[in-house]
Amino acid sequence: MTHDTTSSTPSVEVFSSMPQIDSATVVLGVETSCDETAAAVVMGGTDVLSSVVSSQLDVHARFGGVVPEIASRAHVESIPHVVAEALERANIDLDRVDAVAATVGPGLVGALLVGVSAAKATALALEVPFIGVNHLEAHLYAALLDEPRAEFPMLFVLVSGGHTLFVEMVDHDSYRVIGQTIDDAAGEAFDKVARFLHLSYPGGPAIDKAATRGNDTAVAIPRAMLNDGFDVSFSGVKTAVINYVRANPTVSSDDVAASFQRAVVDVLVHKSRRAARHVNARTIALGGGVAANSLLRSEMTKAAESEGVSLVLPSREMCTDNAAMIASAGWYRLRRGESTALDAGANPNLKLGSGQR
Ligand code: KG4
Ligand code: ZN
């Protein structure tokens, strides 16, 4: 049999012997979409029994970014150990696992296929359902891990290395993207500016730290498209930084970092407030690596308070890539009676709300 490993519409499998899905259902989650090899065991959708993340940061640091081929190989080497450790830390045997979930996209195709193959093989051997999970949807479930009873309608603000999305969420599995970046993702802008300032890799945490020592009004940075719809643009912010530093080479990197960070956070918070009003949100939820940013967390907290909406802020380790969010998103899909056929592949360009099953 031949099958397309990057199929965008894997078939939905309705498991004939679907187990009873409840608070005791144990899902093993696997995440390999980029440069983190992760596995986690989550019970009942929100009870994280273990979450193991093996970062490839050291492997990619000298290249200043993720090298796809190296990432795939590193996943192949790490995945058996990471899964074994997740089971050990959860103190369960493999046969206690009721379903296996893995990220099927978006991400680097070679990297995704390592996790998808490992998860499908495990599910097949255990004769339990496999659930293909959309990485973007999973970032949302990272936010809901701590606040499973957060109220809808919800504005989900996903700010990661690859995405900047404002998503209206009316209920589980009911999404509408109402705004996004028209150029760089927020995390990408952090990473590029950090590289330009010769700060350490990855750039987001390095800028976050440098900014605490800097003056955020030292460098004038434009805030683009503030009042145009819900899309954002960060390439002008990045260009303004580069032009300013070239014209003023003795400027303090801390001041540049602080001014840049303030500009990005101002845009994200301003747009979030407008978008939250537009969708009548009762809750704003943040997700993705940039949601670990200190200034964004504090400014979003103030904004939510003044808008009178609840804010769901995942812990910093749940903002960045992990497999607990994959297992959690998988549990919710399983509860809706969904699982994924074993002929499904990975989809590097998977969009939110489309074909993740
Ligand atoms: O969600 P994530 O772990 O991976 C993707 O799915 O992209 O996000 C990684 C991104 C990187 O661009 C990284 O620089 C950024 O999140 N990041 C931060 C912080 N921690 C991670 N950006 C700003 N401030 C931080 N503290
Ligand atoms: Zn991510």
Which residues face 39 on adjacent strands?
A: 30, 52
151-201 per-position pLDDT tens digit: 999 999 999 999 999 999 998 878 899 999 999 999 999 999 999 999 988
Ligand 1: centre distance to CA 204 (Å)? 6
Q: Which two tokens stand for residue 324?
A: 């607990």
Arithmetic mean of pLDDT over the chain: 91
Where do the H-state alpha helices sit in 40-105? Answer: 57-61, 68-90
Decide if 190 contacts 237 (C-beta within 8 A). Answer: no
What the chain holds in terms of domains, given with CATH numbers, is 12-142+319-340 (3.30.420.40), 151-313 (3.30.420.40)
Among 212-216, 292-296, 348-352, where is mean pLDDT lowest? Answer: 348-352
Residue 105, ligand 1, Cβ within 6 A:
no
* Mutation pick for ligand 1 pocket among 35, 184, 190, 200 (CB with most ligand atoms within 8 Å): 190
Residue 207: C-alpha distances to residues 123, 183, 214, 231, 292 (Å): 41, 20, 10, 24, 12
Ligand 1: centre distance to CA 187 (Å)? 5
115-126 per-position pLDDT tens digit: 999 999 999 999
Q: For position 335, what pLDDT does the model report?
A: 94
- Which amino acid belongs to residue 293? N
Decide if 234 contacts 181 (C-beta within 8 A). Answer: yes
Question: Mean pLDDT across the stretch 203-225?
Answer: 95
Question: Mean pLDDT across the stretch 334-351?
Answer: 94
Q: Which two tokens stand for residue 79?
A: 């995945």
The number of the ligand 1 atom at minimal distance from the alpha carbon of 36 is 3
Q: In angstroms, rounded to a whole number, what is the distance separating the alpha carbons of residues 179 and 232?
A: 7
pLDDT at 13 over 90: no
39-66 per-position pLDDT tens digit: 999 999 999 999 999 887 777 777 777 7
C-alpha 115: how far from its chain's center? Answer: 16
Q: For position 12, what pLDDT does the model report?
A: 55
Residue 285: C-alpha distances to residues 53, 66, 160, 161, 308 (Å): 23, 28, 14, 17, 14
Listing DSSP states for 237-259 in one string gives HHHHHHHHHHH-TTS-HHHHHHH
Question: Mean pLDDT across the stretch 262-285?
Answer: 97
Ligand 1: centre distance to CA 63 (Å)? 17
Decide if 167 contacts 158 (C-beta within 8 A). Answer: yes
At residue 52, the 3 state secondary structure works out as: strand
- With residues binned 3-state (H G I as helix, E B as strand, rest as coil), the percentages for the chain, rounded to 5, are 45, 20, 35
65-113 per-position pLDDT tens digit: 777 888 889 888 999 999 999 999 999 999 999 999 999 999 999 999 9
